[in-house]
């Protein structure tokens, strides 16, 4: 996924693997474990997301990680209001 795309708060990243047996996933957000699902919702602002897919087979464990720094913008558009006064 490209890191400079216009993402918004709440968009999801998906981690997938075609390994057998099925992989277990761990998402870290800014270095802290945040989720063990295959998807991760983006939070507003600039954050570092790391997905690690881990499989265990025959007593051996193998894992791969992918890191992305993503900027997600607020899903609400900022509204600028101005009061205009007319004099007659």
Strand 24-29 relative to strand 45-57: parallel, antiparallel, unpaired? Answer: antiparallel
Measured between its terminal Cα atoms, the distance across the chain in Å is: 57
Q: For residue 38, is it within any domain?
A: yes
Count the neighbouring beta carbons within 10 Å of the beta carbon of residue 42: 20
For residue 5, what pLDDT is reported? Answer: 60
Residue-level pLDDT at 8? 87
Mind listing the pLDDT tens digit of every residue in the chain (88 residues)? 444 567 888 899 998 888 889 999 999 999 999 999 999 999 999 999 999 999 999 999 999 999 989 998 886 644 444 444 434 3
Q: What is the pLDDT of residue 50?
A: 94
Is there a domain that residue 61 lies in?
Answer: yes
Continuous segment of H or E residues that includes residue 54:
strand 45-57
| DSSP structural state of residue 27 | E
Number of structural domains found in the chain = 1
11: containing domain: 7-73
Please indicate, yes or no, if residue 1 is contained in any of the structural domains: no
Task: Please tell me the pTM assigned to this model.
Answer: 0.75
CATH number of the domain enclosing 61: 2.60.40
């Amino acid at each position: 996924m490209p890191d400079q795309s216009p993402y918004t708060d709440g968009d999801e990243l998906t981690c997938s693997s075609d390994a057998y047996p099925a992989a277990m996933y761990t998402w870290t957000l800014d270095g802290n474990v945040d989720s063990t699902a295959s998807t991760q919702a983006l939070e507003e602002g600039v954050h570092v997301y790391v997905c690690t897919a881990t499989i265990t087979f025959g007593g051996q464990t193998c894992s791969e990680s992918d890191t992305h720094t993503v900027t997600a913008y607020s899903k609400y558009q900022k509204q600028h209001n101005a009061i205009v006064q007319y004099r007659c």
